Homo-oligomer: A and B are copies of this chain.
Amino acid sequence: MTGAECVLRTLAGSGVDACFANPGTSEMHLVSALDRVSEVRPILTLFEGVASGAADGYGRMAGRPAATLLHLGPGLGNAFANLHNAYKARTPVVNVVGDHAVMHRPLGAPLASDIESVARPVSDWLRTTRDARTAATDAAEAVAAAREGAIATLIVPADAGWEDGAGAAAPVASRPRPPVPDEAVEAAARALRSGEPAAILIGGPLVHGAGLRAAARIAAHTGAELLHDTFAPRVERGRGVPTARPLPYLTAVATAALQGLAHLVTAGTHAPVGFFAYPDLPSRLAAPHTAVDVLATPREDGAAALEALADVLGAPPLPERPPAPAPAPPAGALTPETLGLAVAATLPERAIVVDESVTASAAIVPALATAAAHDWLPVTGGSIGFGLPAATGAAVACPDRPVLCLEGDGSAMYTIQSLWTQARENLDVTNVILANRSYAILEFEMQRVGATLGAAANDLFDIARPDLDFVAMAASMGVPGRRVTDAGELAAALRESFAEPGPHLVEAQLG
């Protein structure tokens, strides 16, 4: 059995069942092994940024890692931006990166480069396997590391793939999240019992499932406000779901929102900082007079800590919320607001909403609070080109759930190749392209950083010259599409797409 097959059998035995692949020559023995290890589903992408973004979407929803298969430094480079998002989200991912054979590496061949240097900023675990006999145990350790909420990058020299290995390695157990110390629970309880203005800020894996519910119990009982990180990896929202409010994106708005607090209890995240720095604005969002109590760091067992805190405080179970009706679909001009309402009116139960709507997000996200219960997956690392790939991966992870991708037109173009993989795998994704024909976020940020906007700068934000035809582009990759210009048309298009399996694209021309 080749080293490559040992690696792949180890991945399969450790519970990895999907591999988003862009292989090259160095990975040929890993590709060959895919023929003999049918437990791992190979999913071809036309660009590595699609593979890494898909692994992010997959991992956020499945809670366990998919593999990527990448070609030396340049393949990893192409994957980097979406690995950055996954790294910030602490998404479990196992990257398998091929390298030259060990003897070939120092000779300066065209594809030789320092792969580890590229991998390090987006890898919690990083190793170049020594040879075919160490490859399988390294793979088992990589999966164990990834399962702890981490990016694990395993570099496999070509000869470690083609030589004889030592067989598959047994799965390695992941370490459980360490419990928080009792003192942290007691300190948080004191803060929330103080009677002074307080808020709870949750992040990481605590914004869905048990963590969210325990935090909501605490908030309901103590009157503390419940906030979540602006860009938490997976946020459970919608009708019937306990409400947490996203921390505002804008530094000035976020600092104003936190200004009155005497206490801020954090769990699964750090004390909040601004997305960017701005002249004359603070980077730390909590006021200097606000006491920050760390209930649980991102690596600790925050869900158990929140439940312990709820019990210590004597918080009763959350009441059942009466089912609310879906809002009526909007009519009239297509704006971010009416787009959000159209989604809220039509979104099926248990949908996954991947959100890279950028500037439009500020209007859309509030509207989605009235949609059917769903998971909302935003961009966690600020790296553009996340949406279409993550939607692709989420659909692979959850074939029984509809996926909606809200995607800015500028952002869509970074990883537009995703549509082809959606068509190839017949994934149930509705891609809505928000066509405002500009990098609107940059026009906006330009003013915030105090820079002046003249003709040359303005032109760099204008993507209407020439106009991008997303319907034709989708069709060229096998995805049927249509263009809508008002809110009623959009609601109808969404209903049709949600009712019909397979990928669709809707180009929403914003006024």
Are A104 and B477 in contact, CB atoms less than 8 angstroms apart?
no
Are A158 and B276 in contact, CB atoms less than 8 angstroms apart?
yes
Are B454 and A32 in contact, CB atoms less than 8 angstroms apart?
yes
Mark A451-482 against chain B: 1 for CB-CB distance below 8 A, else 0: 11111110110010111111111011110000
A511 within 8 A of B: no
Q: Shortest distance in angstroms between A53's beta carbon and chain B's nearest beta carbon?
A: 11
Residue of B nearest to A157 (CB): B277
A62 within 8 A of B: no
Are B35 and A452 in contact, CB atoms less than 8 angstroms apart?
yes
Give CA–CA (A162, B448) in the complex, Å. Answer: 12
Are A113 and B118 in contact, CB atoms less than 8 angstroms apart?
no
CB-defined contacts of A398 to chain B, threshold 8 Å: none
Which range contains the number of A residues in contact with the other chain? 35 or more
A29 within 8 A of B: yes
Give CA–CA (A36, B276) in the complex, Å. Answer: 25
Q: Shortest distance in angstroms between A399's beta carbon and chain B's nearest beta carbon?
A: 19
CB-defined contacts of A109 to chain B, threshold 8 Å: 273-276, 283, 382
A488 within 8 A of B: no
Give CA–CA (A31, B103) in the complex, Å. Answer: 46
CB-defined contacts of A42 to chain B, threshold 8 Å: 456, 459-460
Are B273 and A104 in contact, CB atoms less than 8 angstroms apart?
yes
Are A162 and B466 in contact, CB atoms less than 8 angstroms apart?
no
Residues of A within 8 A of B (CB): 21, 23-26, 28-29, 31-32, 34-36, 38, 42, 44, 46-47, 49, 72-75, 77-81, 83-84, 88, 100-101, 103-104, 107-111, 113-115, 117-118, 120-122, 158-159, 162, 231, 270, 273-277, 279, 283-284, 380-385, 410, 413-414, 416-417, 420, 423-424, 441-442, 445-446, 448-457, 459-460, 463, 465-473, 475-478
- Interface pairs A-B: 4 shortest CB-CB: A77-B80, A466-B478, A35-B454, A104-B277
